[in-house]
Structure 1
Amino acid sequence: MTARENDDGLVSKLRRGYRATAFHVVSRGTRYDGPRAQVPHSLHRPRERSNAGARLETLVLNSAGQRAGGRNHPNKRRILAVCGDSGSGKTRGLLENTGKIPAMQPYEFQGNTISPLLAFEAPSPCTPKLLALEGLKALGVGVRPNIRENEAWDAFRNELKGHMVLFVLLDEAQHAVNIANRIEAQKIADAFKNLVQMPDWPVRLILAGVPPLDEFLYRCSTGGPLSGSRNSIVKVDSRASKKSLEK
């Protein structure tokens, strides 16, 4: 499973930061390798964390259907948005925090390397179809040039399950939502909802970008297409980025 070779920024930094070792979860004396693994005890123990780091760990717990302490409890908090001006430290903070969470690291499963976290940048300009194609490209999946928009999204959702991706990190997400056409903006919101509410393989969505990303999510969460999901928004101030995203 390979991602595109010519990407840069967040995606390439994430790739360089990954370790090639397998991810083994030990919980209640049971060793388990693979998707939907039990959440490591390190995520259950209260400790000092950054705001974004704590929200990321909450996504991991929710993905496993657990809350802190190991109790099974489904939760609808499925989208985390990290918003701030350019240069505010969003990318650096996400790189550091995702690199510290074991459940987001690649591991070996049945002879294959599985990457639970898929990271890619929203294209600019962006349309719903181009966004789906960019996600497929990040997964290393080729599609025919004349593929339809709905087919591209169907393929992307199927490939996320096939690649056992649990978390999707979309950098420069403002490109996906800063669309003049309201119909296309609605399609993007619906696509986000479909990703996090897939009945057989729901993923958790992490969005990083500058305004109007936060306003878009707020509108969608209050009576809009994302109103059925509980979303978290972390706003990053460049003057306080070291305090809010780093420890």
Structure 2
Amino acid sequence: MKKTQKIKHKKHPNSVHLTKKARLIKRRHQIRRQKQFLCFILFLIIILSLSFLILRPLRTSRQTHMINSACESYRSDVEQVAAKYDMSAYVDLILALMMQESSGQGTDVMQSSEGAYNTQYPQTPNGITDVDYSIACGIQELKYSMTKADVTGPNDIANIKLALQGYNFGADVYFNYLEKNGITSWSEESSKAFAEIASGETERSKEDPLYDTAGPWDYGDQYYPEHVLRYYHS
């Protein structure tokens, strides 16, 4: 029986070339897509990084936080005392200050026992044991500092910052320092510079929780205005 001979079809020389070319084109497309994907990822990272830098919580940004119910419960008391000292326009600022100082807890809600207007209780931390008296002393202390800072109204944030830092540092010594150095606006740098001098160049330990929250020098809160203003909705 005669065997059927299989016929072998030879590939056209160009077909091999075309196959290689197709693979090369496919590979180029893959590389291009990979590059496009990497570029997209890089672009996304840049956008997210920029968004983080712009929107992240900064000490110098005016983030808004709510005043808690404990402080709000003193609103009518603050309004009465504020009216007595011509500070009615600043009730919200006073409550914001109270929020920063005590969150409305304790008897010295304005932490004003160490201030000049406390003449009835020990001038030591939490020395005042009468809430109404603490509010009265705190409002007078704030008004004095606002007068030194030439605050023109509730929206004069630039000068309110100076007044708040004066409340925290002690108005007389702080404003004397500002005048002596020709400083007319609050900044973190000038606040730290004052605290460095006032502390006798005593640094806080980096393990001290106040190092990050209140500044590197062992005197007051060097970020105080921004800490108060985050609660202030003028």
Q: TM-score, normalised by structure 1?
A: 0.24
Larger helix proportion of the pair: 2
Q: TM-score, normalised by structure 2?
A: 0.25
Which structure ranks higher in relative contact order (CA pairs < 8 Å, sequence separation ≥ 6)? Answer: 1
Larger strand proportion of the pair: 1
State which structure, 1 or 2, has the greater radius of gyration over its C-alpha atoms: 2
